[in-house]
Amino acid sequence: TKPLIVRSVVPVEVGQWHTVSAGRSKAGIGYLQVDDESVNNEMSNRNTPIALKTKVYAGGYDKRLLLSQEIGVRRGFEGCIAELETSGNKLNMIDDIRDSANVYHCGHAGAPQPDPSDDESPVTCRPGRGGYDCEIITDICLDQRPCENGALCQTHQGGQNYTCTCLAGYLGLRCEVQYNTLVASRFSGNGFIEINPKAFKNNENQVTTELAIMFSASEPNGLLIWYGQRNDEEFLGNDYIALAVQNGFVELTIRMDGQESNVRNSDVYVVDDERHVALIRRERNQFHLQVDSMTVHGETRPTGKQTMEIPGSIYVGGVPDIERTTGNRYNESFNGCVFSVENIEESKSIELRDFAIRTVNVDVCDE
């Protein structure tokens, strides 16, 4: 079938900025508007969904693609593009670029641009590179592919830095290490391990909660464990259990049915790069925190409710978007090593290779 063609009545003037809006509605109507002209509509013969299989290209196209003869053009656009929007979402002209070739800074009006027909015109850059000589890294994930073992690579800082989200069974800044029983995890204040709650065989509504963690701390403040709402949800006053290092001492906070209470074990200073064990035991609204051999007790104000509702994963070392997830209760992730997380009820360590859902910015501890 022939393509639907919609033509503007406004001529494009060389050297002038224009705003172009184009698209296709669910009813199969194609539309085009240039600047302030009235919208031009054309109805196609069908309103079936269309399958778009390539990436979005602006200013030209990848020569490896075979264009339809019906398009009627065989060369790319010459000029400047200042902004792009798709479905109402404004694109970042730096962070959202995945590949580029023969693209130059527009500069000031009238400034000469390199001649694309020149023998010394730049070559097509590989994915993740841009600039005249492909000297600019536009996406370090595409350029270097640093994440291993199927990990998701996410860029930040304008494509110049990256974070690897490891699949289950792997850790390391590049997810290069496979978990085994001897691997300890190092946290540097910007990572976390998400553990499947099935590791503790707990229901969402719990009368009792028991767990232990062996760790060494290198900084006086940082979130060590968060166990609360469903994954990636904002904190909205839900029940939670939080274990943190605060001013060098371990602190346990419990929120149950709107009542919140915490205890700090001030007998054991833990920021000494030595191994310590913290045990959490909770039954109904009463709880105990033991650090090494010293125990403190606490309770939340009774409300008549006997269970805590904690449906989420257990996060170790931090959480994603810490202030949002914890309701601004914490703003620092843990710095140090975690050697084991234990299910006290079964008296055995959790095998992270079996129960770690994802690992972000966690390296191997060399202790």
- Which one of 3.30.750.200, 2.60.120.200, 3.40.50.9100, 3.40.50.2000 gives the CATH number of domain 179-364? 2.60.120.200
**Sign of CA pseudo-dihedral 162, 168, 170, 172:** positive
Interatomic CA distance for residues 332 and 324, integer angstroms: 12
- Mean pLDDT rounded to a whole number for the chain: 84
Phi, psi of 64 (to 5 degrees): -80, -10
pLDDT tens by residue, 164-188? 999 888 888 899 888 765 578 999 9
| Mean pLDDT calculated for residue range 45-51 | 65
Rg (CA), the chain: 28
Interatomic CA distance for residues 361 and 193, integer angstroms: 9
pLDDT tens by residue, 211-229? 999 999 999 999 999 999 9
Q: SS3 for 346?
A: helix
Residue-by-residue DSSP string for 171-212: ESTTS-EE--TT--EEEEEEEEEEE-GGGGT--SEESEEEEE
Q: What is the pTM of this model?
A: 0.64
E strands in 232-355: 240-246, 249-256, 259-265, 276-283, 286-291, 294-299, 308-309, 314-316, 335-343, 348-349
- Binned at pLDDT 50, 70 and 90, residue 62 comes out as confident
Pairing state of beta strands 205-206 and 308-309?
Answer: antiparallel
Residues of the chain with CATH 2.60.120.200: 179-364
Pairing state of beta strands 276-283 and 259-265?
Answer: unpaired
- If one compares 346 and 141, the residue with the highest pLDDT of the two is 141
- Binned at pLDDT 50, 70 and 90, residue 110 comes out as very low
b/e string for 28-43 if b means 16 or more Cβ within 10 A? bbbebbbeeeeebeee
Whole-number pLDDT of residue 111: 44
